[in-house]
Amino acid sequence: MKREKTIEAVLFDMDGVLVDSEVYICQAGIEMFREKGYEVSAEDFMPFTGMGENRYLGGVAEKHNIPFQLEKDKARTYEIYATLVKGKLDALDGVFSFIEKCQEQGLKLAVASSADPVKVHINLEEMGIDRGTFQAIVTGLDIEHKKPAPDIFLKAAEMVGADPSRCLVVEDAISGVAAGKAARARVLGLTTSFSPDELAGADWITATLATAGDEVLEW
């Protein structure tokens, strides 16, 4: 007799999991600060990867003592970002086939991204993924405590009606892996942004969704 599967849902981070937009949001952030009269580097943003744009931009501003108006400067960054990515964003390897495999198995799907809704929707549109693919889309504005706190994954699990311990979290960032484990989910770490050693807390580690083994959905 075949054992009933435990897994109920898959909760996807976006950047570095579904799409690689990091270079564009970083470029947009650099340009935004340049417009304010300050020069920053791509390396300045690395410690804040995966934490949402509030921290991604705000952390760099703090580091360099740059006056920072959160809503205004973030809005300007997204304007630059939308221009930069137009016609340039493609889903990462294996995204469509992995989503199809999840759907064939009757799993619930959610996006759980620390980014603001405007960025999430720009990315989905540019990738050609219908929002209706997901039973829930949770963004950084929906929760108080950002990754590495588990809040965003707990919220996503709640919205799709799944026990967090029966969810697979797919992440590429150190903070995201920590958040998934804190939510009691199993975590698939993708090495699109960090090394396998840095993602060692994940249950499984692979390059992209294209190279993920069947075992990540068979538990």
Q: Which residues are catalytic?
A: 13, 15
Q: Across the chain, where does the E strand assignment appear? A: 9-12, 108-112, 136-138, 167-171, 186-190, 204-206
Cα 89–chain centre separation: 15
Q: Map tokens 């799944």 to a residue.
A: 162
From first CA to last CA, the distance across the chain in angstroms is 15
Contact between 173 and 193 (Cβ < 8 Å): yes
> What distance in Å separates the CA atoms of residue 63 and residue 60, rounded to the nearest whole number?
5
Neighbours of 63 (CB within 10 A): 13
CA angle 76, 82, 87 (to 5 degrees): 165
Structure tokens given for 109:
């799907």
Rounded distance between C-alpha atoms, residue 163 and residue 186, angstroms: 12
